[in-house]
Amino acid sequence: MKVLLLALILVPLLGGLALFIRPIEDTHRRNSFVMILCSLVSLGALALLLRLRSGVPQVYMLAEIFGEDFSLALHVDGLSAVFVAIVAVLWPITDLYAFEYMQHDHAQNRFFAFFTMTYGVVIGIATAANLFTMYLFYEMLTLCTLPLVMHEMDGVAKSAGLKYLIYSMSGAALAFVSMMILSGYGGLAFRAGGSLDRGLAAGHEALLYVGFLLGFFGFGVKAAVFPFHAWLPSAGVAPTPVTALLHAVAVVNAGIFAILRLQYFGYGAAFLAGSFAQNVMLAVTAFTIVFGSTMALRMQHLKRRLAYSTVSNLSYMLLGAALCSGAGLTAAILHMIAHSALKIALFFCAGALLCRTEELPQGVQEYVFQYTGYAKKTPAIFAVFTIASLGLIGVPPLCGFASKWAIAQAAAAQATPLAITGAAALAVSAFLTGMYLLSVILEGYFPPHGFDDSGLEELTDPGPRMTSALWMCAALGLALIAFMPMLQNILSAYTAGLM
């Protein structure tokens, strides 16, 4: 198990580094190398999960740096399994999509090198056994994804990269302070129910609540918590495989994952329940939910609209976590799963439209109002966009409905004013989500009477690799309908042991 865990981290890290140092100029050979490497990692990750047993996970110590607390250690538990499964399924699909999307782009070796290294770093975050190990991989994630955000290397991309770096470094500083505070009152090892020593904590509750909030906002930078969300829409200047990676799979889910670890395995949900720290979490996440959806409705640029949609949906998960209950945590994890599959499909569709409109006389089309009548010419893109949109809106029985309903039920069951406010925010956001996603669908399928499509002769669906990736994401979203009840039961049993 230890060797397999290390391999899942080191193989993509070293493989990506090798591609960066010794570029492969032949496109077919490079794509084959990347796909084989990432597929092997995904298969290894899924094999690892099949070996996962219930009970206390075994910790594999790699190196002690400053004692046991500040050591490099790995393990796999139920929360790790969810994150690892998400990336293991979606990463090879994203690679397949990227091969076609990037085929005429520059610096492809650099792109795929950092893209591949990011996979190993994300596995490291997911399998970290203590806060120190997770923090190190979390900072490596910033370094690996920064070149991807800045891929175009023009003024706009550099500006977006600088914003991403400043936000990430600021968040890292806050998270570091939180980690230091926790280390003095119980340790950094992840333990079900929290590692905080309640005896040592007695009389220091206010300091610890503040320490937790520093970590919440610090790790919350990557989870796009208001007011630290602005980097996410700006990062949309990156190629679509990157924005899909950032907004659905790796970076934002890493932010959510880190907060869940800090809350339920560090400070402890029981310690935070009823405190002003919990109230701040509930208030901020409820506001971010409505804010993100409102901003998405205002955006005509499709990728920025989807980015603000992500801002909102990430706080759905954090709202569930903020309830400090097993039902809330279960709902948060369910929405992480559903959102990952649905949002990556939406970004893939947006990227496919960008790719296909490059060949039009009028140039690249990026805005919603420019997609009038496009569904007839790009049926696959709009079919997948429609399936994913309905899922994200929460239309029964699609997977987005199950996860949103679980969050609303958990909030209503708590019946505090802020929890009820959070449930109301979900309802408002669901309505706004319908407006900003259905408007794209209506624009594509129902052009005005007498619409002239003479300028769209060259417009078609993308090639087989991108189209296959689109349909695989749509199929995954539909398949989750059948698995959501089972996942909810499994997660409920798991989270009950964390309270």
pLDDT score at 460: 87
Q: How far apart are CA 315 and CA 429, in angstroms?
A: 11
**pLDDT at 49 (0 to 100):** 85
Q: What is the Cα Rg of the chain in Å?
A: 22
pLDDT band at residue 361 using 50, 70 and 90 as cut-offs: low
pLDDT at 246 over 80: no
pLDDT, tens digit (0-9, with 9 covering 90-100), for 429-486: 999 999 999 999 999 999 888 787 777 878 888 899 999 999 999 999 999 999 999 9
398 secondary structure, DSSP code: S
Question: Which of 103-117, 389-403, 483-497 has the highest average model confidence (pLDDT)?
Answer: 389-403
Residue 59: pLDDT above 90? no
| Residues 231-245: tens digit of each pLDDT | 999 888 888 888 887
**pTM metric for this prediction:** 0.94
Q: What is the mean pLDDT of residues 15-29?
A: 92
What average pLDDT does the chain have? Answer: 91
Pick from 18, 8, 102: which is nearest to 60 by CA? 8
pLDDT for residue 54: 62
pLDDT confidence bin for 336, thresholds 50/70/90? very high
**197 pLDDT above the threshold of 90:** no
Between the CA of residue 88 and those of 80, 85, 177, 489, what are the distances in Å? 12, 5, 32, 22
- Asked if the model's pLDDT at residue 496 lies above 80, the reply is yes
Q: What is the average pLDDT across 84-105?
A: 92
pLDDT of residue 450: 76
Mean predicted confidence (pLDDT) in 208-227: 95
- Please tell me the number of Cα atoms within 13 Å of 213 on its side-chain side: 17
Q: Is the dihedral of CA 351, 303, 143, 218 positive or negative?
A: negative
